[in-house]
């Protein structure tokens, strides 16, 4: 019998190893995952990417651990599928963790595969999609996890602001993997069967005595509505992947590119007479600002980010005249539109994301100020509110503000004026702008006269009307060039798109050289 190699034998060996790698943790485990209504790691990639476009890398990698019986638990691919392909014709890098292999845990080889994908995404200036389903660090590999897990953080951080990074939580995502997701630009979490936390319920009970379920601790509702960690949620795996594809439609390939522009069939000069029906002229009455956004956007299409968190402020993407625009809008339907700690964090993060990826910003303003109270002050409203000021000032993309009803006090710079770096500021005729409202201003400015008046209430009411008619109107601000134009609400879409077109090639003078600023984190 000859020992000479033959092509048939070598190719058969390769096919056998590839088939073994595709089986992950075995047919039974893969089928169990399917039976639970979830896609397998490979099926997720196949669903997300264009047909036959995926090119797998490091398919045959294995861990090299021989402790704790691990030499008998080797799986080709080591629990993560890595590679690149196209998504709606655009190149993306992707990795998909396989929880049928050692619970998707991250060891040295597993981590190295992810490092390589993240690094190549940065070097080729291509977005990266991270499909997470991992129990965290593989404890059998001990300190090799420093390489596997920590290297992910390093690569995520170097990628930040260079290429879009989108993380999907499609199973357990615990320990170090949670931090890798937090370092991405956007996190999408599946509502059923996915959990995101640093320490699980068992450890929490042992250390603190608290009892909490997996879902209460790290489920989609907890992180989308309470912690604000998760930006978007999905009913199942397929919807999660659809959301990722839609999100990428609003993002460029990298920080040197511009977001995709679509042909616009919606007339740029479309009038919006309905806006005066949506927004009550009476300041104390509330409305949902998302109706305004829907009226302004091309075809009424708005992609909201962090919908369930800090609902007093709405952020998300729309197209205006075909151009992707990030929208930051006060929502009087919740907390009267006041800014608070959570909404300030939400805004600052979104503003910086848009600026990093060359997405113009539109601020829709109807804000009475920052939420007052001991709890807010002691929780650091000054520090958190300053993040908004920092983010607006730092941003060099086109910035446009429309003041619809009111804009008071510290919320004036927080929502947008020229002095914080805005390029165009418009106001509706209904807009009120001042450091304080008419009533408190009159009490301060006319205190002595009111104290000595024969009819204090009549004098107070008269002075309030005079102050409001003189100082709170947009014409007062217009006379001082605080705003660029007082516009009819029906012309809002036309004016915004005109400004975006005018600012399309905006550049800013060079700023003082520095390593980086020191945002008040």
Of the residues 133, 168, 391, 411, only one is catalytic, namely 411
Q: What is the distance between the alpha carbons of residues 58 and 77, in angstroms, rounded to a whole number?
A: 7
Cβ distance 158 to 26 under 8 Å?
Answer: no
| 24 included as an active-site residue | no
**Angstrom distances, CA of residue 282 to CA of 31, 97, 140, 201, 279:** 60, 54, 65, 49, 9
Provide the CB-side half-sphere exposure for 315 (13 A, CA).
Answer: 25
What residue ranges define each of the domains in the chain, with the CATH number in brackets? 7-248 (3.90.226.10), 275-434+474-502 (3.90.226.10), 438-471 (no CATH)
69 is catalytic: no
Residue 410 annotated to the active site: yes
Q: What is the pLDDT of residue 138?
A: 81
Average pLDDT, consecutive stretches of 10 residues, N- to C-terminus, the chain (521 residues): 80 93 90 93 97 95 79 85 97 96 86 95 98 85 81 96 98 89 97 92 91 93 96 98 98 97 94 96 94 98 98 98 98 96 98 98 96 94 95 97 94 93 96 88 89 86 88 90 95 98 91 90 91
Tokens representing 304 are 């909201």
Which residue in the list 410, 431, 437, 438 is annotated as catalytic? 410
Q: Does residue 360 contact residue 323 with C-beta atoms inside 8 Å?
A: yes
Query: Which is catalytic among the residues 24, 176, 337, 416?
Result: 176
Residue 64: predicted pLDDT = 78
Q: Report whether 236 contacts 192 (CB < 8 A).
A: yes
Is 411 among the residues known to form the active site?
A: yes
Put simply, whether the predicted model's pTM sits higher than 0.85 gets the answer yes
Q: Which of 175, 200, 219, 385 is catalytic?
A: 175
Residues 6+ apart with CB under 8 A from 13: none
Query: What's the confidence (pLDDT) of residue 2?
Result: 58
Quick one: tokens of 72?
A: 């008998």
Nearest to 360 by CA among 303, 419, 400: 400
User: Distance (Å, rounded) from C-alpha 194 to C-alpha 99?
Assistant: 12
């Amino acid at each position: 019998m000859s020992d000479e190699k033959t092509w048939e034998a070598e190719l058969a060996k390769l096919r056998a190893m590839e088939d073994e790698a595709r089986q992950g943790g075995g047919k039974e485990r893969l089928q169990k995952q399917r039976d639970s209504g979830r896609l397998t790691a490979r099926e997720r990639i196949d669903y997300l990417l264009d047909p036959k476009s995926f090119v797998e890398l490091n398919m045959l990698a294995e861990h090299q651990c021989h402790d704790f019986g691990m030499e008998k638990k080797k799986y080709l691919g080591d629990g993560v599928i890595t590679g690149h392909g196209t998504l709606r014709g655009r190149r993306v890098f992707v990795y998909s963790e396989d929880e049928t292999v050692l619970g998707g845990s991250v060891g040295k080889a597993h981590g190295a595969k992810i490092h390589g994908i993240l690094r190549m995404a940065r070097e080729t200036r291509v977005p990266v999609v991270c499909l997470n389903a991992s129990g965290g660090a593989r404890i059998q590999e001990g300190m090799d996890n420093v390489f596997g897990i920590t290297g992910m953080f390093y690569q995520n951080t170097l990628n930040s602001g260079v290429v879009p990074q989108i993380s999907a939580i499609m199973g357990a995502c615990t320990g170090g993997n949670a931090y890798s997701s937090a370092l991405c630009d956007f996190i999408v979490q599946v509502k059923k069967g996915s959990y995101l936390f640093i320490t699980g319920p068992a450890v929490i009970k042992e250390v603190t005595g608290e009892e909490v379920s997996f879902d209460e601790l790290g489920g989609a509702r907890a992180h989308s509505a309470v912690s604000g960690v998760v930006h978007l949620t999905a009913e199942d795996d397929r919807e999660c992947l659809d959301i990722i594809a839609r999100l990428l439609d609003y993002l460029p390939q990298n920080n040197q590119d511009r977001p995709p522009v679509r042909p616009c069939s919606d007339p740029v000069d479309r009038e919006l007479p309905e806006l005066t029906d949506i927004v009550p002229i009476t300041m104390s009455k509330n409305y949902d600002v998302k109706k305004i956004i829907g009226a302004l956007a091309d075809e009424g299409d708005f992609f909201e980010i962090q919908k369930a968190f800090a609902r007093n402020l709405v952020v998300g993407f729309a197209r205006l005249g075909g151009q992707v625009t990030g929208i930051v809008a006060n929502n009087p339907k919740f907390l009267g539109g006041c800014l608070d700690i959570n909404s300030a964090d939400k805004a600052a993060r979104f503003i910086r994301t848009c600026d990093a990826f060359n997405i113009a910003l539109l601020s829709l303003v109807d804000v009475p100020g920052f939420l007052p109270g001991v709890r807010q002050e002691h929780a650091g409203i000054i520090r958190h509110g300053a993040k908004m000021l920092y983010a607006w000032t730092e941003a060099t993309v086109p910035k446009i503000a429309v003041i619809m009803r009111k804009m008071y006090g510290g919320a004036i710079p927080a929502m947008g004026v020229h002095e914080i770096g805005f390029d165009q500021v418009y106001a509706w005729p209904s807009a009120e702008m001042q450091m304080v409202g008419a009533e408190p201003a009159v009490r301060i400015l006319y205190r002595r006269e009111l104290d000595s008046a024969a009819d204090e209430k009549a004098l107070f009411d008269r002075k309030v009307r005079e102050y409001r008619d003189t100082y709170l109107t947009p014409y007062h601000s217009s006379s001082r060039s605080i705003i660029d134009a007082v516009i009819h609400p029906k012309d809002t879409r036309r004016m915004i798109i005109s400004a975006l077109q005018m600012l399309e090639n905006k550049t800013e003078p060079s700023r003082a050289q520095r390593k980086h600023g020191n945002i008040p984190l």
